[in-house]
Structure 1
Amino acid sequence: CNSKGYGIIAMETDKDHIHFLISYDSTDRVCDIVKLIKQQTTHYLWQKYPNFLFKCYWKHKIFWSDGYFACSIGEVSSTTIQKYIENQG
């Protein structure tokens, strides 16, 4: 996120997914942001934990599922969304 100028406002993990509240330029596409996050975190995790991941994943360089869910804040304040994310997991 730092390399592209995105700001991670809040982040929390659950047992099988992760929640992010990210600030980004309105000209960027959400699908491109998700793709970048998935690519860079997959690379980092396989570099850092290859032995563990080889035991859990049958195919190298796989970590994330294909899909994702994204929504804009809309009528809710960013503080409300941030509190929601921080209380996950």
Structure 2
Amino acid sequence: MKYKSNRNIVFSCSYHVVFCPKYRRPVLVDGADELGFEIIEMEVMPDHVHLLLSVDPQLSIHRTVKRIKGRSSHDLRAEFPWLKSRIPTLWTNSYFVSTMGGVSLAQVRKYIEDQKEV
């Protein structure tokens, strides 16, 4: 297990996150990095995204997912203007998040990698 630290704390907080575009439309392309967290693994499917994130515990997972969705929506709409008229709201309000708990990082990485086959 790898620990990180900031000025006040030492932590290891990893999350598996899955979210979908509105109506599960196949509009996704590979994403970009954000500040305040690290994307350990990512699998972008045509109609959903799997992320394995390392998040500073002072930044809530809800705020992190909100940042990812907001930034990716902005960037995708700038690159693909047709999305503005086809899907007024790019992401659904819902998402799945699971802490790593008793599962190893390698197991979650393998699961995300295996999603390419589905």
Aligned equivalents of 2:34, 2:66: Cα separation in 1: 14
Matched with 2:68 is: 37
CA contact (8 A) 2:69 2:91 kept: yes
Q: Which of structures 1 and 2 has the larger relative contact order (alpha carbons within 8 angstroms, sep 6+)?
A: 1
Matched with 1:19 is: 50
Paired residue total: 85
Q: Deviations over 1:6-60 (max 9, x none)?
A: 1111111233211000111122111000000000000000000003x14532x2x
What secondary structure is seen at the aligned counterpart in 2 of 1:80?
A: helix
Q: Percent identity?
A: 35
Return the letter of the residue paired with 1:4: L
Matched with 2:93 is: 66
Q: Does 1:85 align with 2:112?
A: yes
- Normalised to the residue count of structure 2, the TM-score between the two structures is 0.65
Instruction: Name the structure where strand makes up a greater proportion of residues.
Output: 2
Q: Which runs of 5+ in 1 are unaligned?
A: none
Instruction: Name the structure where helix makes up a greater proportion of residues.
Output: 1
Q: Report the RMSD for the aligned CA atoms in angstroms.
A: 1.7
